[in-house]
Structure 1
């Protein structure tokens, strides 16, 4: 009991002081003081409920998923049947009534078409995503199944969540909360962000980038009436493109999209204009080089989210897969576009259906009240422990102070977030730490009543109480781990403090106090202790 090797003392004190030092920047920040800029400043991040920020609820339209699937299936059908030998010609293509229908020109090709389309009807796990039927001998109808639509919606929302996460993190904010809500909604919470419009602009942009060849022979009068030749589309110019109110006719097939982008960066060109430099992967670069080499002297449109941002003329073949997007950009809009493109396009449009802004004053008040609760509770516990256990109560309270500092230090080192429930976790941790010392001291008191000597009573008290403490903390750890794994937002914030507090409480309440008590017993050699 009295033997604490020097290396163990050094290890205990070194760990305690190191984590205490890590907690200092957070204490300075919470108190409003300024931490020296020349020193490292690992800080505990404050959650939305403490630091303020933006809360945005985004919603996807399931009908758009249906439209996308119909468009994708149409392209797949045209490609599959167009590559057949001999080619299967189709016509009278329609996507009305949430289904894809088309006519096969020759009755003799219907069975062959069905056989070629069969692999397109099943998704992953052999889930039937499309039903195929033939009517009037030559008309094939493809109808999406409910299972297929559900799988597509779930995949689109999961992908959207990942894209939004990359975009928000690109802003340099800390610990955003981005979670699914229901089947077609996503909650975005960004603590500390002073400009919620920036978040709305960033996460609300689909960032679907397309490069399509322009039909330069289309008449403006036809475009105004929405009339184009088969196989073409009309896209309006973006409001800030310099051609607001005008439109372009482009060929639906033969272009490329931004799915093969690997880099997008805001920059300035030789004319000192703000542009976005993009780079494709090898496959996309080869397709881009082929597109530009085969259409030198022709105009192609750069389309972002259904709007033409520029329509330059291809001057020469573009090799290497590197190009630039120009259009009346400011440094801010160029940076936002670069972030959107770099993070990838949203697979479905998302609209803001709810927006709340949490002011920092509310968070400051929460912190103030939480600290008051901690101080009041701590003072009450300190008075009770010292009055009840004397010197051993003093050791317990010093350990309690180190416990709180070590929790802050670990959270700062792990770059975790403190939420209002996290403050509740702090208060709960204080109670748990004190419980451990109460259990130890009561066991020592029982051992003394049994007539054991001081050193033997203390040693047995720590030994027996430690077993119960470890058992209790294991069950608490399991509960905290489950809360962290399956909880979201504030629940995870509570779980983080709880789990960290379990380890620090055992270390401070058992190991540190035992070291201090052993040092005192070895030095003072008391004949009795007052408990």
Structure 2
């Protein structure tokens, strides 16, 4: 039995050590690792203000919701990693954080453009709008140059077919926000719902207009109310300082647990390593964007995980002082501390869920990392720590109780 516990404990330690070694590279990979937010990676912070038209038409909540959805689609088409797009209904604004953006002016150009697509006859009358457009993609032209390939919906296909049938031999102007993109002559009816806008010098220009057309036109015009760029160097400095502070805190916690709780303290330190691995891998798997508030939530959850271990160990010490053996004191202490630990977890988790549900931006990040940390600490405190202590006590059930911080020989 004793030999079996030693083998299991050694295997567990080696398994955790291997997990740590194998986790370092994927977790810290700058491209595929845990995604970093604007404050850690650098990028651009934008505030777009909705503006009334010349008629003074009121801007509704529905307008802001539609604008937010369209801007979100445009951001996704830009390929920005883990963007944050939020609506401020009171001020009629949309707040956007784009981490890792290298060309903020290009992003601003695409995001705030109204992108109203229209088709006009030779007299300049609007004969078809882009509402029936299904898809738009930039690509290489059949002859030379670059084009935007348009695909209409089933209803749009019929409308476009009727239009091109009527305008054979005439020019059909294609406009984006009242700017002429192309003015081709209609030679034959286009009945298959496929059209091509030519005249682009670069694939980038064609792809840009395709993004605007594909995402749809904004219901209101947007202007830049705020534009703030966060340098990558500032983000790196913030990240380095956060990591440094976290390491100092962990070292202090490890020493504190070892000095005051002896053997259980060492087990708690070992459990904290497992806890950190679980949390970081959850961040990695679910692409949780790590920000400074998020790091604060993670560090707070580390402190709570240690606190839960302290509650359990104090209960165990009480049972041993009452005369119980190490094994019996361990089981009884965990059982008695269970309700307290669960209660603390649940109440804090409720607070985290509330913050996430009603908060915005950085508050959501803080709440999310705190919630994930709470669930991970519940697992490590109740199951992993208990398993390791059982194996340790099983190696020598008659060990001196001073290893548990209790001055009594069993």
Give the CA RMSD over aligned residues. Answer: 2.4
Following the alignment from structure 1 to structure 2, what is the Cα–Cα distance between the partners of residues 502 and 16? 20
Structure 1 CA distance for aligned equivalents of residues 243 and 26 of structure 2: 14
Kept in 1: contact 2:73–2:215 (CA 8 A): yes
1:93 paired residue number: none
Shift of 1:525: 2.0
Return closer, same or farther for 1:514/1:214 CA change in 2, 3 Å cut-off.
Answer: same
- 3-state secondary structure, aligned to 1:417: coil
Q: What aligned pairs does 1:369-384 form with structure 2 within 5 A after superposition?
A: 369-384=241-256
> Cα deviation per residue 1:352-378 (whole Å; 9 max; x = unaligned)?
121110001111111111111111111
Distance, in Å, in 2 between the alignment partners of 1:517 and 1:444 is 11
Note if 1:160 corresponds to 2:67.
Answer: yes
Residue 47 (1) aligns with residue 27 (2): no
Where in structure 1 are there 5+ consecutive unaligned residues?
Answer: 31-40, 70-148, 216-249
Could you tell me how far 1:335 is from its partner in structure 2? 0.7
Question: Which residue does 1:508 correspond to in 2?
Answer: 380
Query: Does the Cα contact within 8 Å between 1:425 and 1:495 map onto a contact in 2?
Result: yes
Over 3 Å counting, the alpha-carbon distance change for 1:292 and 1:59 in structure 2 is: same
Tell me by how many angstroms 1:526 deviates: 2.2
Residue in 1 aligned with 2:118?
A: 210
Alignment of 1:177 with 2:84, yes or no, is yes
Largest Rg, 1 or 2? 1
277-286 vs 483-492, greater mean Cα deviation: 483-492
| Cα distance in structure 1, aligned partners of 2:359 and 2:23 | 26
Match of 2:125 in 1: 251
Cα distance in 1, alignment partners of residues 174 and 14 from structure 2: 60
Match for residue 301 of structure 1? 173
Q: 2:52 aligns with which of 53, 62, 66?
A: 62
User: TM-score, with normalisation over the residues of structure 2?
Assistant: 0.91
Contact 2:146–2:203 under 8 Å retained in 1: yes
Q: Look up the SS of the partner of 1:288 in the other structure.
A: helix
Q: Indicate how the Cα distance of structure 1 residues 439 and 158 shifts in structure 2: closer, same or farther if over 3 A, else same.
A: same
Q: Which runs of 5+ in 2 are unaligned?
A: 406-410
- Within 1, Cα distance between the matches of 2:108 and 2:167? 38
Work out the number of aligned pairs and report it: 396
Structure 2 CA distance for aligned equivalents of residues 451 and 387 of structure 1: 23
Write out per-residue CA displacement over residues 492-520 of structure 1, whole angstroms, 9 at most, x where no aligned residue: 11111101101111112221111111111
Alignment equivalent of 1:447, drawn from 309, 316, 319: 319
The whole-number CA distance in structure 1 between the counterparts of 2:18 and 2:116 is 49
Pairwise CA distance, 1:329? 3.7
Runs of 4+ in 1 over 6 A off after TM superposition: 12-19
Instruction: Encode CA deviations 1:80-112: one digit per residue, 9 max, x unaligned.
Output: xxxxxxxxxxxxxxxxxxxxxxxxxxxxxxxxx
Distance 1:14 1:414 in 2: 27
Per the TM alignment, residue 25 of structure 1 is displaced from its structure 2 partner at its CA by 3.5
CA distance 1:278–1:17, change in 2 (3 Å): farther
CA distance in 1, matches of 2:203, 2:263: 64
Q: 1:329 to 1:188 in 2, by over 3 A?
A: farther
2:229 is the alignment partner of 1:357: yes
Partner of 1:270: 142
| Equivalent position SS for 2:308 | helix
1:395 to 253, 267, 270: 267
Measured after TM superposition, the shift of residue 22 of structure 1 is: 7.9
The question of 1:28 aligning with 2:28 is answered yes
Which structure has the highest helix share of the two?
Answer: 2
The answer as to whether partners of 1:210 and 1:258 remain within 8 angstroms in 2 is: yes
